Structure 1
Amino acid sequence: MTCYIPSYCTGINCCIEVDQIGKTFNVYALLDGCNWRLTLGIERRKIDISLLDYNWGQTQIFTLMDIIYLEYSVHDLKGENSYMLNVKIKVCLQKGGGSCLFTKTLFENTKIQKFGCDWSHSEFKIQDFSLQKFLSDNDVVDNAAGLILDKLLEELGITSELKDTQCNRALSPYTPVDSNGWNIGCEKTLPYILPAIPNTMSCHLTDTCTGIDCCIDVDQISRSINVYIKLDACNYKLTAGIEKLTFDVPLLNYEFGQKQSFRLKNIFRIDYSIIDLSMEKQFVVDMDVSVCFEANSPCVFTSTVMNSARLPKPICDLRSNLSFEDISFKELVENLLLDVTQQLPSYAADILLERLGISQWMQDVPCSRQSSQYTPNVKGWKILCPSNIPLQGLTGNLSCTIPDYCTGIDCCVEIPQIGRTFHVYLLLDACSHRLKIGIENLGLDQAYFNFEFDKVHEIRLSKLLTLQYSVSDLDGKKKYIVNMNITVCLEPLGSCIFTWDILKDVYLPKLGCDWNTSMSGSDWNISMAGKYLYMGHSQGCLFT
């Protein structure tokens, strides 16, 4: 057998030689992540599968005459921006897959990186398609209808991407509308007036103030089309959608300010750009939508939906605004046919974190309890603070450090059941009056005047890991009183496997401030805050 992987990486094409019968067979599986399509083929037998309807992770079989079997499954690891593939080929003489002459595993829990989609070069299914020519060829005077409409949608290649139920401009959330065609669900006072849009389109600005959802009446195909862009400032994610076709982009490493396109077969188009004004807690959005039916002529419809519009970000509650899933560890392990008493293999841990919705928050380089950050230590503690701090010993799979400025706690939590570590931290800067608290890349960077002292707060990374903490500022005594505990739960219901009371009414001393440095001993700098939910800055002085 000889195989090759195409330039876009998410596919495989093989030539199989079966000596026993003196034949060769061409077998291929090609995954188009941009158009959400999986193409399978055995010789001249070919099938296109819409990934919009595929149950991710489900094993399916494609066969030719019950002789050649192509067995496959695909997991969509959105948080890691990759796919996990399993592909096996069998050549069997007995129906049902028995008595096989040839069996070969091509991919086994193999992760393949997704490449970015360049929608600006999207093409019509028929490259030189012309609606006018199609109508003329089919003797249609007005707009296509009935069987001719079905034929048109098929030639456009959009049938499977259209929603079963059309959007309706006469129903919520598109009504009632103001004089410019908008239904504004945002309760904040907007610093601009939304532009007027054509009378064939209605748009809704969502209650988060950072989502734009539009419904367009397209007479040429006798239906309404839903297009939208939703900026989730709390989960730090951008979602663009045209009918069923959606595109999710994490904003942690997003290139703000770049012009982007999202297209459905080059017919329906969204062109947009986003700027993140972190200090002003706003997004600046440009958004145009177009409908095009001529490959070599202008679009029949184009409208500016947003023009340098400033969308205010919501205030995020790390306990309630984040989108996580409740997944049973035991059920997942059993579904993957693994032993629940053994540590998860790496691929299964990847699937678990993706299903929980936390993989996007994981740091690129995991913390290590064996690193110099946490060793050498005594009873789990590495203490760099020059003052004497009475601490209770740490037990189990946990190591913590108190840095040389004394008012920080940095921990590495190991969960052996899934073979992963998690970075948990609570850093108090008495000189700049700021605090930084979080789990992995999920956290906050906040000024004291926005923080509620003497109150119990909580950050959850799904229900897998919970950080509870409280801080009291004893300004007169130059100390903080800090409480901090961490809980690890593998099941959404039932008892948790680990609970650590790391600090319990512990006094952390404030040292004198050296104004030539900041947070001595910390790896933090102000440019890192751009990754976090509440603040973000660019390097350099804020005021001179």
Structure 2
Amino acid sequence: MADYTFGEQRNFSLGGIVKTEFTVLDIESENAYLIDMNVSVCTESAQACEQDYVIAENVLLPKKQCTWDAGFVNQNVSLIKFKTDNQISGNLESYDASRFLKEALISYYLLATPCDRSSDLYSSAVNGWTSGKEEVYKLNGVYGLRFTVNNLVTSNKYLVNMDLMACYEANGACSLQETIFADFELAKQVCDRSTGFINSQFSYSSWLSSVGLPANTSTPTRMGQITAD
């Protein structure tokens, strides 16, 4: 799927006998893929296929969730050993830092272009969050984020505490821990529930057509994407 463009119809064939046609849509608001797939069996090259099978039609396939609190993938990661082996004293130059992060198996995740925070992937609500529970997210054990969010119902705010960690020794303490928020009060956004349609011309049938979905697609399964659009 590395070279696949979501929404594009793809076809592939096994010797011309078994033919597969599929389309995959990325439904970010529901953290799932919408899949259509048909398979045909053709035993005559100059005639129509004898058998057609619908394998998947408007099937929502949940995306595999990440293990956010994962430890070190490379159990031998050590910044001290790396500097000793490469006869480095003081801070790492950018080239050496890139080599170390590659050995730590996290360079793949460090993009030159930052994430788009306006994407549906980040702007939608997160299910399963518990007020006051400490959460820890780690990137292959090297970089970590520890935070708690308390719901202050009476003051209509959230109380946020957040620490950032950098750990360069698989068998040692973290080298860096910085406090990003300490008892920070974040005001909740108040909704105006009296408003009508933001888009006065909105039509569900037209929306289905614009995103390439069948007219018989049920409303509940598409609700997250509709509200995002």
From the superposition, tell whether residues 298 and 82 of structure 1 become closer, same or farther in structure 2 (CA, over 3 Å). Answer: same
From the superposition, tell whether residues 344 and 69 of structure 1 become closer, same or farther in structure 2 (CA, over 3 Å). Answer: closer
> Pairwise mapping of residues 373-522 of structure 1 onto structure 2 (< 5 A)?
none
From the superposition, tell whether residues 140 and 283 of structure 1 become closer, same or farther in structure 2 (CA, over 3 Å). Answer: same
Distance of 1:311 and 1:136 partners within structure 2: 45
Aligned to 1:109: 58
The answer to whether the Cα contact below 8 Å between 1:69 and 1:91 also exists between their aligned partners in 2 is no
Q: 2:34 aligns with which of 55, 73, 84?
A: 84
Distance of 1:296 and 1:157 partners within structure 2: 16
For residues 179-231 of structure 1, the C-alpha deviation after alignment (integer angstroms, 9 at most, x for no partner) is: xxxxxxxxxxxxxxxxxxxxxxxxxxxxxxxxxxxxxxxxxxxxxxx9xxxxx
Aligned to 2:216: 344
Structure number with greater Rg is: 1
Aligned to 1:271: 146
Aligned to 1:133: 81
From the superposition, tell whether residues 253 and 268 of structure 1 become closer, same or farther in structure 2 (CA, over 3 Å). Answer: closer
From the superposition, tell whether residues 335 and 285 of structure 1 become closer, same or farther in structure 2 (CA, over 3 Å). Answer: closer
Aligned to 2:163: 288
Distance of 1:113 and 1:355 partners within structure 2: 15
Q: Quick one: which amino acid aligns to residue 60 of structure 2? A: K
The answer to whether the Cα contact below 8 Å between 1:261 and 1:270 also exists between their aligned partners in 2 is yes
Aligned length: 213
Deviation, 1:108, is 3.5
From the superposition, tell whether residues 248 and 316 of structure 1 become closer, same or farther in structure 2 (CA, over 3 Å). Answer: closer
Q: 1:301 aligns with which of 155, 172, 176?
A: 176
For residues 383-422 of structure 1, the C-alpha deviation after alignment (integer angstroms, 9 at most, x for no partner) is: xxxxxxxxxxxxxxxxxxxxxxxxxxxxxxxxxxxxxxxx
Aligned to 1:182: none
Structure with higher RCO (Cα < 8 A, 6+ apart): 2
Distance of 1:63 and 1:158 partners within structure 2: 34
Distance of 1:263 and 1:156 partners within structure 2: 13
The answer to whether the Cα contact below 8 Å between 2:24 and 2:33 also exists between their aligned partners in 1 is no
Q: Quick one: which amino acid aligns to residue 146 of structure 2? A: D
From the superposition, tell whether residues 311 and 334 of structure 1 become closer, same or farther in structure 2 (CA, over 3 Å). Answer: closer
**Matched residue SS, 2:80:** helix
Query: Going by fraction, where is strand more abundant, 1 or 2?
Result: 1
From the superposition, tell whether residues 252 and 279 of structure 1 become closer, same or farther in structure 2 (CA, over 3 Å). Answer: farther
Aligned to 1:58: 7
For residues 260-315 of structure 1, the C-alpha deviation after alignment (integer angstroms, 9 at most, x for no partner) is: 12233332211111111112212122211111222222112102222333333344
From the superposition, tell whether residues 136 and 253 of structure 1 become closer, same or farther in structure 2 (CA, over 3 Å). Answer: closer
Query: Going by fraction, where is helix more abundant, 1 or 2?
Result: 2
Q: Quick one: which amino acid aligns to residue 162 of structure 1? A: L
Distance of 1:62 and 1:141 partners within structure 2: 55
TM-score by length of 1: 0.31
Distance of 1:126 and 1:71 partners within structure 2: 37
**Matched residue SS, 2:163:** strand
From the superposition, tell whether residues 145 and 251 of structure 1 become closer, same or farther in structure 2 (CA, over 3 Å). Answer: closer
**Is 2:224 aligned against 1:354?**
yes
From the superposition, tell whether residues 89 and 356 of structure 1 become closer, same or farther in structure 2 (CA, over 3 Å). Answer: same
From the superposition, tell whether residues 269 and 135 of structure 1 become closer, same or farther in structure 2 (CA, over 3 Å). Answer: same
Distance of 1:333 and 1:138 partners within structure 2: 59
Aligned to 1:330: 206
From the superposition, tell whether residues 85 and 310 of structure 1 become closer, same or farther in structure 2 (CA, over 3 Å). Answer: same
For residues 410-452 of structure 1, the C-alpha deviation after alignment (integer angstroms, 9 at most, x for no partner) is: xxxxxxxxxxxxxxxxxxxxxxxxxxxxxxxxxxxxxxxxxxx
Q: 2:102 aligns with which of 154, 166, 170?
A: 154
Q: Quick one: which amino acid aligns to residue 344 of structure 1? A: N
Aligned to 2:45: none
The answer to whether the Cα contact below 8 Å between 1:75 and 1:85 also exists between their aligned partners in 2 is no
From the superposition, tell whether residues 59 and 349 of structure 1 become closer, same or farther in structure 2 (CA, over 3 Å). Answer: farther
Distance of 2:23 and 2:80 partners within structure 1: 42
TM-score by length of 2: 0.64
Deviation, 1:145, is 3.2
**Matched residue SS, 1:288:** strand
Distance of 2:38 and 2:93 partners within structure 1: 44
